[in-house]
Structure 1
Amino acid sequence: MQRSGIVLLVSSLTLWVAVTALAERVPQQPPPEVVAELGLNYQIPDSFFPSKDFQAGRVADLAHDYDVIKYILEIRLSPSELINKLKGHATIQAKSGVSSLNTLSLDLAGLVVDSCKVNSRLTTFGRAGDKLNLTLDRAYKSGELFTAEVYYHGYPLAGLYFSYNKYGSPIYYTMVEPDRSKNWFPCYDQPSDKALSEVICTVPAGNEVISNGNLVNISNNPDKSVTYHWQENYPIATYLISLAAGNYAQIRDFMSLQNQDLSLSYWVYPQDSAKAVYDFQTVPEIISLFSELFGEYPFQAEKFSIAQAGLSGGMENQTCVSWGFPIEGNYTYEAIVAHEISHQWWGDLVTISDFGNMWLKEGLATYCEALWKEHHYGLDRFKGHMTGLEWHVLNDSLGSVSCPIYNPPPEYLFGKGVYRKGAWVMHMLRHVIGDNNFLNGLKAYAQQHAYSTANTEEFKNAMEEQSGQDLDWFFNQWVYSPNFPKYKWSWVYTYLQGKYYLDISIYQGQTAPLFYQMPVDFELTNASGKSRLSLFNSSRYQTYSFVLDDQPSGLIFDPDNWLLGVQAQSTYPAIAGDLTQDGQVRLNDVIFLVNLLFNKGPRPSPAALADVDGNCRVTIADIIYLSNYLSNKGPQPKIGCP
């Protein structure tokens, strides 16, 4: 782009200018371009709710006195039983994390405990609310291993569900995020302690059980039941341990990654199988894209799969996504497929340390919807998706977006702020540090925290290390603060003494934060073509001055849509005719104009203040025009062009 002949002068407004409050010019119904890209009913992919006593950010601040090594869950589902629909035997292999561990405290809600063992011997236990406390057989030093077993039964009130699909067939499935694993097995029900797992589930014959990892064995039992044994050999958080059971048709596929085959399976209701072939056809391409962008698929020794279930959205269970959206054969939910696949990196490979950091995985996964469209359909579809997400954010200004996306109130854990504003934070971060730094930073973040956990500060550190920039300012305003900016901008220009003088004003009208610091691009059009003016907006009121060789004919704010927020063009915030900027139009302004034209006097700011007749150039005619106005013989003064 042609950028020669431009001199940049930046100043802050020293005169307070009364600017009318900026209204949020966001229609209450989505505009046609949003409907075309996202549809009328675009929804949060994971529409669930935490328990009433859930506290998102508490875990990272609490000491955890043991480390779970592995969960072995032997589960029997008896849907014909009225009360005891679940019988469980949980084996928990753990390691002490303190100098003297005497009690193992587990999370377990609503189910009846029959007995407990430690190292194969019966032990005493007690219940306190949703806590199950087992007496260990001795005090365990830090690093010492032990095994606990819990035998239990009951009817789960949450977490594991007995239901029917739309065709009337029985289905059984888990949906536990964020804190309902404890409703179907005893555990440390927080994401910070990842462990290996096995799920050994027995169901009535005629059903298949799908879970995490690899299928070890299928056993047909004499009592007309069948047992499926699944084993997950990568560390997994409790909220990602899952099962889905029912009468399924399995669609098998595979793809080659890093010269290895990756098994792909889609377990769907038989009536939906033909449509599922169409709806999930791009899964290999999506996995290939994200492997290229973020690093190799994290669970290549196992599988990627999707299991249809009765939940209201989708859930990124490790290696086995639970799918509750309609399967229609029209590819309506392709963006959600990309969303859930991306979670295999963002949520499963790198798990958030606690749910106060929910935005970190959900913002990234939502942004991956747009990255998929950018790759598969092109830049216009990418921009359309981001515009749609922005519309949803701006229309939620009194809801979840009014809170920081970090550690939001429980009712907003699955809100538009966490998901859609979170996606926009990723988008703007990409712009601030550049494409290469952003993508390389994601790869570094994945490598540094692979099969472990991370938080917002650790993500920020990865991006700072990659970009070489201090990003505290960015995260403080976009992650740790609420809302979004409300920009009001204007521009004026005139021709004076052989040059064109362009002035741009930006005002931010939001209540909090007082102002956002962000790079702001403008697209300038003149006789030479189009060029970019890259500015940095760092105060509530700010002006920018340029000296140009060619007459400007157009100016577009944020032409590539890198900025989240409301923006509206307005009149330039200055008093027309007040060249001395003393708040009045009087004879001194005529003298100022005379000195400017004949005595090489200073230029006003903006220079277009001298162009009081508004004909895009400063001449002696402006002196006459302003004199006539002051003598009550002429019209009101103007401020240059456009």
Structure 2
Amino acid sequence: MPKRLLNIPIFILITFACFWGAFNPSIAGAVNLNAKPGSQQTSITYQPAATKLHDLIHTKLEIKFDWEKQQLHGTATIQVKPHFYPQSQLVLDARDFIIHSVIIVDNEEKKGCLYSYDNQQLTISLGHLYTRDDSITVEIDYTTQSMQGRPKYHLKPGINQGIYFIDEQGENKASQIWTQGEPNTNSYWFPTIDAPNQRCTQEMYITVEDRFKTLSNGVLIYTTLNDDQTRTDYWRMDLPHPPYLFMLAVGEFAEVVDEWNDIPVTYYVEPAYEKHAKNIFGHTTEMLDFFSEKLDYPYPWPKYSQMIVRDYFTGAMENTTAVILTEAIQGDERDLLDKVDRDEIIAHELCHHWFGNLVTCESWSQLLLNESLASIGTHLWYDYKYGPYERDRLIAKSMANYLEEAQLKQVSVVRDCYTYPIELFDCHTYHKGTLVMHMLRTYLGEEAFLQSLSQYLKKYAFSATDMHQLRKAFEEVSGQDLNWFFNQWFLSSGHPVLRIEHTYANGRLILKVWQKQARPSPVYWLPLAIDVWIGGKKERYHITVDKTYQEFTWPVAQQPELVYVDRNYLLVGEIDHPQTVQSSKYLYKRGEDFFSKYEAIKYFSNNKVELANYCNFFKRVLRDDYWGFKVIAMEAIRNYGRQEKIYSALEEDLIALSEDPHSLVREAVLHTLGTSQSPDKYTDIYKNALEDPSYRVANAALYTYANYSKEDQAVKEAIIENFEDYNDINIITTLATYYANAKQPDKYDWLKGKTDKLYTQLGFESLLSLLVKYTTAVIATNQQEDTLALLQSILENNPIPRIYLAAYDALQNMPRTRNVKKLLNETKK
């Protein structure tokens, strides 16, 4: 791992990915992920912004569905104008359609026309030359290809879909339809010019069975009940927005209505979660206030809706006025205690309604203008709502994610050479881009940064931009030339790798700095802040590093207690600056921000120091006011192994934390006590925590109690069995693992019942492997055959990638009987 990597423990970084790359940042099409760090990819395909032959003006869609065939039947009426040059034909993106007719509408008269279709683009002959003063309207009657039997792994380059039919599966899963348009996939369900530098107004008539609710962009104008027991909902968006942000969704949702400044705010959830909807999305209206004020630009759209759907393959999508989110953020009051960062995804998608929806990147190579700025909004929200430590925790997560990906590839944030747009939805765009924006914010100051963003929004509202237009906004407000900053951070690959040493002699402090990054990364121009503590007082020195090696000297009265490169400058890179036990303890004591305290804790995690230093230091950390540091400290304690002296010295503090107000601290305490040399002596603490309102804490208590308590076995098993009615995946996993390890032969029906009922839910597909693990441990042939039948049924009939792959992985772990080998030979991963 890179030195000084902010490797925050995973249970602190529980957030929901707001982007494609968070689910699989290594997906990169033709990019060579095995390239050595520092190597720039240069030989892929140059991808310019889409040439604008026509401008979209308006799109009207009339839509019906064939649920059995998983097809959409539509009539699209599209109005365009030539952008500048006269045009005699119109080319629309229309992928995998069945085209029934194409008509030109001229003064309300419909005329047939010639057209050609290659399954990707529809080329329409307009009959004569139209100028930019002319309006052209075409009407296309079409049907999408049936999705039955087709691969649905949307993130795989070349396999796209755009519209998803979610099949009803037992009592636990209702039928739904939803769409996903980014990048360039809405043209799989309606014809358009599918480029981010286009935008238009829209109308949508959606006909469904009356039991379903629908959602689309804009406002629901009216509904009409039809004679055939269907209903048509008419949605209209009168403000122009890009085609990739068009959406529709259909399902049996509970709709919970809120309001903000006379603008409708609605939350669509599954009926079982209706009473929890305002808790799930509880800060939405406050966020609308916050972003409108912070950006000095009121929320510009006519409504704001958020809908949770099943089998969504990424965190969320910022469709204009109608956000779709993963079911992972849905939960009851106990679930929500543990989903501490659902605000991250909610704020990110809302902030997109300024950055991405109001002002849009002109091409996918400029994606940072959407994603990085939306993430900046999230961090501003966390700073306002939860304080700078919580903001910096998210920043630290971004640093860790970027540096991890940088070990595999190093490319520029803005890059116009790629094969598939999906390649750009990676940690460089999302995380490095966000971190660089934070550096710019620190460099210019908060006021100048926010005023620049506001000016950018006001100047380019309802249009598409590139990075240089954003740069000009910052330059106009700050009065500074920022080409150097944008060139080295957004247009160059890699990041600085600094080696820093400091010495004190003869009344002078000497700081030596090396830039160690490999080419083609540049030699960076880096303004840094150096904090020097002498006699308990801090002096800050500002330096500029712009060479491969430099020395800086200052006259100081005595040996400093601490010399520290301030991480609040948020340098995106690696810093190797060795510290001592004493300076690290001093850093924690005197540090004024998240990063300094975290780095001090990390020192004691990674360096084997004397036991007394370790115990005294962590006693202080376990009493810190911030929950995150307590959790980090306990992970470090567990990493040191079962050293009884450590646990004895810290026992009082650990026991006290079992009643900490934060659920993740209580969870960490239980796991920490369970790794002591005598974990059974804490049985009473485990038993008390079994009643904790947090599922995560109750699960940690169940694990420690089941595995470490030496109570009477009959009493113990009776207590454990009380958890069999729970439908929390962590608790089910703990029980199933315990039963498998104990080889209890009578728990198959319980686990099979849970699997049958729940495996279709997001995250619950892991039950398939648990079922295999249990049957393998117990060695019950008839149960193994029953499990094999379930896996075979899924592999033959279930098109959802995560479930299919979970079933395949589970099959791989089954005993290699003749039937298992046969199914493996017939099945491809």
TM-score (norm 1): 0.79
Q: Distance in 1 between matches of 2:20 and 2:450?
A: 25
Whether 2:162 is the aligned partner of 1:159: answer yes
The alignment status of 1:255 with 2:241, answered yes or no, reads: no
- 1:439 aligned to 2:450? yes
Counterpart in the other structure of 1:13:
none
SS in 2 for 1:525: strand
Change (3 A) 1:266 1:504: same
Bigger CA drift: 42-51 or 515-524? 42-51
SS of alignment partner, residue 141 of structure 2: strand
Aligned to 2:92: 106
Distance 1:475 1:35, change over 3 A: farther
1:339 touches 1:368 (CA, 8 Å); kept in 2? Answer: yes
Which residue is equivalent to 2:511? 504
Change (3 A) 1:42 1:218: closer
Q: State the AA in 2 paired with 1:136.
A: L
Q: Is the 8 A contact 1:108 1:186 kept in 2?
A: yes
For the residues of structure 2 that align with 1:137 and 1:489, how far apart are their CA atoms? Answer: 70
Q: In the comparison of the two structures, how many residue pairs are matched? A: 533
Paired letter, 2:137: T
**1:189–1:56 Cα change, 3 Å:** farther
**Mapped partners of 1:154, 1:52: distance in 2:** 26
Q: Does 1:64 align with 2:52?
A: yes
Partner of 2:322: 320
Q: Which has the higher contact order (CA 8 A, sep 6+)?
A: 1
Give yes or no for the alignment of 1:135 onto 2:125: yes
Counterpart of 1:117 (choices 73, 97, 103) is 103
Tell me the equivalent position of 1:523.
Answer: 531
Instruction: Flag the structure with higher helix content.
Output: 2
- What is the CA distance between 1:101 and its match in structure 2? 1.2
Distance 1:519 1:25 in 2: 21
The 1-side partners of 2:82 and 2:305 are apart by 35
State the alpha-carbon separation in 2 of the partners of residues 520 and 262 from structure 1.
45
Report if the CA contact (8 A) 1:102-1:135 is conserved. Answer: yes
Q: Which amino acid aligns with 1:31?
A: I
- Separation in 2, partners of 1:354, 1:403: 15
For 2:8, which of 25, 31, 38 is the aligned residue?
31
Which of 203, 206, 211 aligns to 2:208? It is: 203
Greater share of residues in strand: 1
Structure with higher Rg: it is 1
Which structure 1 residue ranges, 5 or more long, are not aligned?
A: 1-22, 572-642
Cα offset for 1:59? 4.5
Q: 1:308 to 1:297 in 2, by over 3 A?
A: farther
Identity %: 27
Task: Give the aligned partner of residue 579 of structure 1.
Answer: none
Q: Which aligned pairs between 1:13-412 and structure 2 lie closer than 5 A? A: 24-25=2-3, 30-32=7-9, 35-36=11-12, 38-39=13-14, 43-46=17-20, 58-60=47-49, 62-80=50-68, 82=69, 85-119=71-105, 120-155=110-145, 158-164=161-167, 167-256=172-261, 261-300=262-301, 302-310=302-310, 311-312=312-313, 313-326=315-328, 327-329=330-332, 330=336, 331-332=339-340, 333-399=342-408, 401-407=410-416, 409=418, 410=420, 411-412=422-423
Q: Distance in 1 between matches of 2:413 and 2:303?
A: 36
Describe the superposition over 1:119-175 as per-residue Cα deviations: whole angstroms up to 9, x where unpaired.
Answer: 221112101341101111321122211211111113365101111478321000101
What residue in structure 1 maps to residue 620 of structure 2?
none
Q: Is the 8 A contact 2:218 2:321 kept in 1?
A: yes
Aligned residues of 2:531 and 2:541 also touching (Cα < 8 A): yes
C-alpha separation between the residues in 2 aligned to 1:394 and 1:211?
Answer: 38
Partners of 2:144 and 2:189 within 8 A in 1: no
Q: Is the counterpart of residue 569 in structure 1 residue 577 in structure 2?
A: yes
Name the SS of the counterpart of 1:287 in structure 2: helix
- The 2-side partners of 1:460 and 1:213 are apart by 31
Determine which of 454, 458, 463 is the counterpart of 1:452.
463
Q: Is the 8 A contact 1:400 1:412 kept in 2?
A: no
The CA RMSD over aligned residues, in Å, is 2.4
Q: Is 1:476 matched with 2:487? A: yes
Deviation at 1:100, TM superposition (A): 2.8
Using the alignment, how far apart are the partners of 2:75 and 2:118 within structure 1? Answer: 20
Per the TM alignment, residue 223 of structure 1 is displaced from its structure 2 partner at its CA by 1.1
Change beyond 3 A, Cα 1:339–1:408: farther
TM-score (norm 2): 0.62
Residues in 2 aligned to 1:164 and 1:565: alpha-carbon distance in whole angstroms: 46
Task: Supply the distance in 2 between the matched residues of 1:412 and 1:100 (Cα, whole angstroms).
Answer: 35
Structure 1 residues 353-384: Cα deviation after superposition (integer angstroms, max 9, x where no partner): 11111122111112222211111111111112
C-alpha contact 2:360 2:369 (8 A) present in aligned 1:
no
Structure 1 CA distance for aligned equivalents of residues 30 and 138 of structure 2: 27
How many Å apart are 1:552 and its aligned residue?
2.5
SS at match of 1:185: coil
Structure 2: stretches of 5+ with no match in the other structure: 32-43, 148-160, 580-829
| Contact 2:488/2:522, CA 8 A, preserved across alignment | no
| Higher alpha-carbon deviation: 270-279 or 550-559 | 550-559
Moved over 6 A (4+): 48-57
**1:67 CA drift (Å):** 1.0
Which sits farther off after the overlay, 405-414 or 377-386? 405-414
Distance 1:196 1:443 in 2: 24
